[in-house]
Amino acid sequence: MSAPRVISRLASRAALARRSPLAATASRRVAIASTSTLPATAFTSMSVRNGSTLPPRSTSFTKPTEEHLKDLKAILSTPTSLLSTLDGSATPDDLASYNDDWMNKYHGKSPIVVKPRTTEEVSKVMKYCYEKGLAVVPQGGNTGLVGGSNPVHDEIILNISNLNKIRSFDEVSGVLVADGGVILEAADHALAEKGFIFPLDLGAKGSCHIGGNVATNAGGLRLLRYGSLHGSVLGLEVVLPDGTIWDGLSKLRKDNTGFDLKQLFIGSEGTIGIITGISIHCPRRPAAMNVAVFSLDSYEAVQKVFAEAKGHLGEILSAFEFFDKQSYALVKKHQEENGGERKVFDQEGDFYCLIETGGSNAEHDEAKLTGLLEHLLGTEMVLDGVLAQDSTQFQSLWSLRELVPESAGKAGSVYKYDVSVPVGKMYGLVEKMRAKLREGGVLEGDGNPEGPIRAVAGYGHMGDGNLHINIVANKYSDEVEKIIEPYVYEIVAENDGSISAEHGLGVMKAPYIGYSKNDVSIEMMRKIKTLFDPKGLLNPYKYII
Amino acid sequence: MSAPRVISRLASRAALARRSPLAATASRRVAIASTSTLPATAFTSMSVRNGSTLPPRSTSFTKPTEEHLKDLKAILSTPTSLLSTLDGSATPDDLASYNDDWMNKYHGKSPIVVKPRTTEEVSKVMKYCYEKGLAVVPQGGNTGLVGGSNPVHDEIILNISNLNKIRSFDEVSGVLVADGGVILEAADHALAEKGFIFPLDLGAKGSCHIGGNVATNAGGLRLLRYGSLHGSVLGLEVVLPDGTIWDGLSKLRKDNTGFDLKQLFIGSEGTIGIITGISIHCPRRPAAMNVAVFSLDSYEAVQKVFAEAKGHLGEILSAFEFFDKQSYALVKKHQEENGGERKVFDQEGDFYCLIETGGSNAEHDEAKLTGLLEHLLGTEMVLDGVLAQDSTQFQSLWSLRELVPESAGKAGSVYKYDVSVPVGKMYGLVEKMRAKLREGGVLEGDGNPEGPIRAVAGYGHMGDGNLHINIVANKYSDEVEKIIEPYVYEIVAENDGSISAEHGLGVMKAPYIGYSKNDVSIEMMRKIKTLFDPKGLLNPYKYII
């Protein structure tokens, strides 16, 4: 990525401040301190449907034993491919990072982690588990936010981190073929060396796997420009529940010979197969990239700026993100605690937006961006703005947006919601949520200095109608969850939105699918799940229940 | 669409000729004279697999009778929604355009055409047919090229041309919702009025339906820029084989709540449901569009120009098409016969390529295009070139490429193949095909002045690795087909290609799916077909047999 260019004629404008680089952002994945353990009663909303707290362990699944462990060991090529508490080769603590989820909200109790080194090993493990009736949870980087990638009970954890090779890259077609366990950032770095870009970017890039990205149909920061994985993924290699390897690793951009089967696995959250390889079309890396961040006084202003950005920037607009002052406050606090410089804007606002451009001609891109900036400043649509001058500032400005979830996690236990609704209605949902919590007497504030809810932050991908609501509590509690859910899903459904824009369903949202999908859809989903996994062994208790 | 701009500084270059507008192209759909009827023996290659010429009529389907006709009439709101030879309300000639395919190669014998006016009517018709065991072929514009949209035997034709309303368009999100029977060009015209563009364009746009486009996963001319329908379609309304209406008409760009069911219907060729409504994300129409056509002396030169075009034009490259001298000769002959002016290049070549740009800033686009043109002319990569100066020339230059299939159809009976292979290997397939036909003694030429094959033309979408081979014969014959098939599929399979890049399988390619799909894929397809259509009533004898 080339360093962003200075737009010199704007340099003198006080409104478009240029300051020293912000403190470099630490690795995006940090351990989030465990502030609570999940109380069993946290699942009351689920219990309404299921008559129990968490979905109970299915009696139809075989309980993993030392005998199974011995058999699985025999299947695997190296002893280090298996960790288990059953034979004392691992302690429960050793397995904690596999059993617990990213938010430390969901906690499994699996005694076995299998880490195959080849697709064939994945196949053999699945074949064995299928025959024995052992339930399995496929796991990538375990960075999911809906409890989809860790066990609910004692499912065997099939972690694919050892499948981490880039298989091929074709510089003519831009087609990358890689193992499912390749880390997203590693894939993108390898592509950068060849002048290409992975058509997906998200905060967890340093930890998440591309196989997991495909399994959850991750959306991320640049969907606006590069579209969804349903368009860019060309082929998949998948191990089916019974161990059959499906080689659907097409490298062709066009292939109309039958149902596009790979599409079923994109977003299937590991319920009908384990993605061991992907083939994806990668665009050329933009020769020039620029980023600017603005403070604004209202959500209406953010919408206006979005319309102007689309008009002025056209095909080079690669991201349009927004965040509110509550989000920004969390980031500032987090940076302060880590000794990072925080002064960015002379004039802060109630809202912020980040605009990224990526194009093939730096001069043209700067002209387009300058045109936009002059218009925004001239019409006073923005309060203040900062334009990155070099690649360090580029990263620093991006971190203002990307650090929101991590900063929220540092501030407490976070109820995270990821929804999509029409752009005009996005922020209204955050305001409704705040009002609901205030009404419930749990929002910290003047009348409630000790309220368990410390902040309600709204941010997201403007271009995609994708809103993230992070509700920061001093701890996870039944009382708070009851106020939030299913209310948050009700207000999404009222606006014809989706209760999961990009995070998926997992164990968290499975009971609420009815808010976004009708009965015919749910029935079709159930039939497809049964078709592929008649024993229901793969990633049970989640997705479609 | 704004008129293409003149690149004045290049105007003086003799090499980049600017001439008077070519004759305006007539409507793209023209009746192709019936030069032959399909001999039953034309399906010998199919017979190898099936032990008969065409797949025989299934005895498990009910034969349509006057009784059924009466019942269907009662279901429909107006008498004009039904045509039948059973009650004398129509003659076989009246039904010919529904029973015969676009190429006049495949001929069905259905006695009933139903044209429902609402999704509910489609549902009622399907429910009735499902209960009675009547087979049904869904039909849109009937412009398919693989015999997929007309009956094989006496299937009831369910034509959706009366479902032709645009339901809504949202200028903020760019989301269009429309009936499946809306004609592609009509949808694009409606969008143009609002400054948007349909993210698909193809030669048959004046006749094909958007529902049919989705059902065949049409690729077309601008996939390079706007990606595949798997990425741009947001939702579908589908009537399932048993008459159930599936309302999956989401308008959201992101929705991760379960299997992305709509993807199964995109490219399903009417075998598991009838698409009655679509919701699609439409980009802004480029403010500036340019087109240039070049003559070149080799396929290697075409590949080099493609690489240069990607480098110079980046994100504004919206199409890169190529065609060979045989294709160009067919177009010239066709234009000559229709009184159109034909002189385009001072220096013709063995190959031609068409480059289209579309961007938001005319000045920037012209600068990028000028840079490319100067480079191409300076390095003598091209022999000659023409740049459109106005919208008439824009259309005229496009017609050189778009008229190839129509011109081939005028020249004789055409064996049409649509394949994808890696870009570097594309043209080698055309050369192999010519050699095979020459070897078989059927290619017209010095040694064989009366050879039944008049031309073998190669053209296609360079950016997508999508090659079209049109073999023009004086008539369809068993002898010729035996030489071509399955040879053409064998050479595609040798190059890990697809035997159908964008046309689909239909009745023509169904027996050859094994050349592009492995057994696991075919088995999964079969299971999905059975899951949705256990009686196999919808579009039988095709796709997956």
On the question of pLDDT at A19 being above 60, the answer is: no
On the question of pLDDT at A29 being above 80, the answer is: no
On the question of pLDDT at A153 being above 80, the answer is: yes
CA distances from B184 to A260, B197, B236, B505 (A): 23, 11, 16, 21
Task: Closest CB to B258: pick one of A245, A422, A513.
Answer: A513
φ, ψ of residue A43 in degrees (nearest 5): -100, 25
Per CATH, the number for B40-159 is 3.30.43.10
Q: What is the pLDDT of residue A222?
A: 85
- For domain A166-281, say whether CATH 2.40.50.100 is its number: no
Structure tokens at A431: 């305001």
Per CATH, the number for A1-25+287-403 is 3.30.70.2190
Instruction: Give tens-digit pLDDT for A415-440.
Output: 999 999 999 999 999 999 999 999 99
Contact B258/A at CB under 8 A:
yes
Out of A119-133, A167-181, B42-56, B235-249, pick the least confident: B42-56
Answer yes or no: are the C-beta atoms of A173 and A254 closer than 8 Å. Answer: no
Across the interface, whether the CB atoms of B232 and A231 are under 8 A apart is answered: yes
Q: What is the pLDDT of residue A463?
A: 83
Q: From start to end of A297-374, where are the E strands?
A: 317-324, 351-359
Q: What is the pLDDT of residue B251?
A: 94
Instruction: Give tens-digit pLDDT for B15-33.
Output: 333 333 333 332 222 222 2
Under CATH, what is the fold of the domain A412-503? Alpha-Beta Plaits (3.30.70)
Across the interface, whether the CB atoms of A520 and B367 are under 8 A apart is answered: no
Structure confidence at residue B448 as a pLDDT band (50, 70, 90): confident
Q: What is the pLDDT of residue B53?
A: 65
Q: What is the pLDDT of residue A53?
A: 63
Architecture of domain A44-159: 2-Layer Sandwich (3.30)
Write the ipTM.
0.90
Name which of A253, A305, A320, A503 to mutate to probe chain B: the one with the most chain B Cβ atoms within 10 A of its Cβ. A253
Percent of chain B past pLDDT 90, that is, above it, reads 83
Structure tokens at A73: 């060991």
CA distances from B258 to A271, A348, A544, B275 (A): 10, 40, 7, 20
Mean of pLDDT over chain B: 89
On the question of pLDDT at B492 being above 70, the answer is: yes
Task: Closest CB to B260: pick one of A252, A266, A423.
Answer: A266
Q: What is the pLDDT of residue A11?
A: 31
Across the interface, whether the CB atoms of A284 and B310 are under 8 A apart is answered: yes
Q: What is the pLDDT of residue B39?
A: 29
Rounded to whole angstroms, the Cα distance separating A436 from A281 reads: 44
Rounded to whole angstroms, the Cα distance separating B239 from B237 reads: 7
Structure confidence at residue B54 as a pLDDT band (50, 70, 90): confident
Structure confidence at residue B445 as a pLDDT band (50, 70, 90): confident
Q: What ranges do the domains of chain B cover?
A: 40-159, 166-281, 286-494
Note the residue count of chain B.
Answer: 545
Q: What is the pLDDT of residue A5?
A: 29
Answer yes or no: are the C-beta atoms of B191 and B148 closer than 8 Å. Answer: no
- Mean pLDDT within A230-236: 97
Please tell me whether residue A456 adopts helix, strand or coil conformation. strand
Contact B245/A at CB under 8 A:
yes
What's the gap in Å between the CA of A266 and the closest CA on chain B?
Answer: 8
On the question of pLDDT at B307 being above 90, the answer is: yes
What's the gap in Å between the CA of A350 and the closest CA on chain B?
Answer: 23
Of A543, A456, A462, A465, give the one whose Cα is nearest residue A497.
A465
Contact B246/A at CB under 8 A:
yes
Write the single-letter amino acid at B260: D
Considering the four listed CATH numbers 3.30.70.2190, 3.30.360.10, 3.40.50.720, 3.30.70.270, the one that applies to the domain covering B286-494 is 3.30.70.2190
Asked whether this chain's domains A1-25+287-403 and A412-503 adopt the same fold, the reply is yes
Structure tokens at B239: 């009537």
Structure confidence at residue A12 as a pLDDT band (50, 70, 90): very low
Task: Closest CB to B268: pick one of A259, A505, A521.
Answer: A259
Q: HSE (CB half, 13 Å, CA atoms) of A223?
A: 27
Please confirm whether the linkage preceding B540 is cis (ω < 30° from 0): no
Q: What is the pLDDT of residue A426?
A: 95
Instruction: Give tens-digit pLDDT for A339-382.
Output: 876 789 999 999 999 999 999 999 999 999 999 999 999 999 99
Of B464, B503, B444, give the one whose Cα is nearest residue B326.
B444
- The DSSP secondary-structure symbol of A509 reads T
Instruction: Give tens-digit pLDDT for A285-310.
Output: 999 999 999 999 999 999 999 999 99
